[in-house]
Structure formats: C-alpha cells, structure tokens
Amino acid sequence: MDDDFGLIVFESTQLAIKAQDLLTAKHYQTRVLTTPGTISAGCGLSIFCAVEDLEEIIKLLDNENAIYVGHKNGLKTHYERIELGSNSNCNSRTR
C-alpha cells in the first residue's frame, strides 16, 4: 500500500504551534509530529497533512518553512523536499 503525505518542517516550536492553531481553525486535518530523524532541519516539530491540501496550506502559511512530501510504501518512508520558487506549486519537486 502506497501513501503520500505532506510534511512541513518549522524553524521554531512557536511557529509550528501557531501554524497548527491556524490550520485547525481553517478545518484542515493536520497533526503536529516530531520531525523524522532522516530530515535534519528545523526545531524538531513538523505538521503532517494530506498531500492534496499541501499547496493551499503553503499559501496560507506564507513563510519559509521546509516542505516535504513523504512517500510511504509498507514500512519504508522516503521524503522528497519540494523547492518553492516565486511561481512554483507542489508539482515542482526535486530529489
């Protein structure tokens, strides 16, 4: 079974909690999680979200967070960082 999901990595705990509060108020299905050990960035907190919501969430948060898409296949998970440009969307991924 393959599952894709969005992961937003924050530079500070305060930003992560503030973002989670905003996303909850906007009725997005998200969870605050510890950042996976294979990603060496941020404060240690990330927001997990549906990949379908990721582009809207990025626009809503409008800041410089590290954005990843996780690809889960069985027990293995691969993370792919999305490089955001001024006119980019979630389809412009780099490995």
Number of other residues whose CB lies within 10 A of the CB of residue 79 = 16
pTM score, two decimals? Answer: 0.76
pLDDT at residue 48, as a whole number: 95
| Mean per-residue pLDDT over the chain, rounded | 83
Residue, of 85 and 84, whose pLDDT is higher: 84
Neighbours of 68 (CB within 10 A): 24
The CATH number given to whatever domain includes residue 60 is 3.30.70.120
Domain that residue 78 falls in: 2-82
Number of domains in the chain: 1
In a domain, 87, yes or no: no
As a whole-number percent, the residues of the chain with pLDDT over 70 amount to 84
